[in-house]
A and B are shown apart, each in its own frame.
Chain A
Amino acid sequence: AQSVTQLGSHVSVSEGALVLLRCNYSSSVPPYLFWYVQYPNQGLQLLLKYTTGATLVKGINGFEAEFKKSETSFHLTKPSAHMSDAAEYFCAVSGPAKRGSNYKLTFGKGTLLTVNP
């Protein structure tokens, strides 16, 4: 079984400040990890993903995340927040790709990021 815990349902930062959204996971198999962003009244857009290899992954819009196996974490960061970053962010976990696997994604409960001018 897999699960995701996102610490903090709401994070508020000032424009230009560091963004840090926390995600911890639980998985009995090597995890594939994802961050998605959801803007109001829209679907989810993939920000970045970790599958294997380099543990620091870069995504769109200047976001990056680091997979830390020892801490079972996959925190999302951005050096400088923009007003346009205000949205709901979801961390998700899946198992490794296997032929015939269902690739089920289990999501965290989301973190709402607000950016203050």
Chain B
Amino acid sequence: DTAVSQTPKYLVTQMGNDKSIKCEQNLGHDTMYWYKQDSKKFLKIMFSYNNKELIINETVPNRFSPKSPDKAHLNLHINSLELGDSAVYFCASTKGNYGYTFGSGTRLTVV
């Protein structure tokens, strides 16, 4: 009965590879987000989708491509991974503006 679930929880990969992170929410929320948390714990928004429509696209390299097949799913694909992409990536969802529900995060390590 997990509300926002991300897979995988850990991801270790080599530079130059392409990887995907998946997110699913069963809360009936209509807006989903990807946030990046760096090594200093700073949280920065990357993307937001509302009912499958991209509504926020911050200054993220175009190697990052989100995809929302339906309003319960938001995936993140990363091409040509770089060392600087190492971080924890959080998916979140909300309905209205009453606080996000976060997933438990995906720790990406690029070696």
Residues on B with beta carbons closer than 8 Å to the beta carbon of A32: 97
Contact B97 A107 (CB under 8 A): no
Residues on A with beta carbons closer than 8 Å to the beta carbon of B90: 43-44
Contact B42 A96 (CB under 8 A): no
Contact B104 A104 (CB under 8 A): no
Contact A103 B31 (CB under 8 A): yes
The CA of A9 and the CA of B70, in the complex, are separated in Å by 39
Which residues of B48-65 are within 8 A (CB) of A?
Answer: 48, 50, 55-56
Which residues of B27-48 are within 8 A (CB) of A?
Answer: 31, 40-45, 48
The CA of A100 and the CA of B101, in the complex, are separated in Å by 19
Contact A43 B50 (CB under 8 A): no
Residues on B with beta carbons closer than 8 Å to the beta carbon of A41: 105
Q: A102-B48, A103-B31, A110-B42 are contacts. A97–B102 as well, Cβ < 8 Å?
A: no
The CA of A110 and the CA of B35, in the complex, are separated in Å by 15
Q: A102-B31, A104-B48 are contacts. A49–B43 as well, Cβ < 8 Å?
A: no
Q: Which of A36, A38, A103, A106 contacts B97 (CB 8 A)?
A: A103
Interface size of A by Cβ–Cβ distance < 8 Å?
A: 28
Pairs A–B under 8 Å by Cβ, sample size 21: A32-B97, A36-B102, A42-B105, A43-B102, A43-B105, A44-B102, A46-B99, A46-B100, A46-B101, A49-B99, A51-B97, A51-B98, A88-B41, A94-B97, A95-B97, A103-B31, A103-B94, A104-B56, A105-B45, A107-B44, A109-B42
**Which residues of chain B have a CB within 8 Å of any CB of chain A?**
4, 31, 40-45, 48, 50, 55-56, 90, 92, 94, 96-105
| Other A-B pairs beyond A49-B99, A102-B31, 15, CB < 8 Å | A34-B99, A41-B105, A43-B103, A43-B104, A44-B102, A45-B102, A88-B41, A102-B50, A103-B94, A103-B97, A104-B45, A104-B48, A106-B45, A107-B44, A109-B42
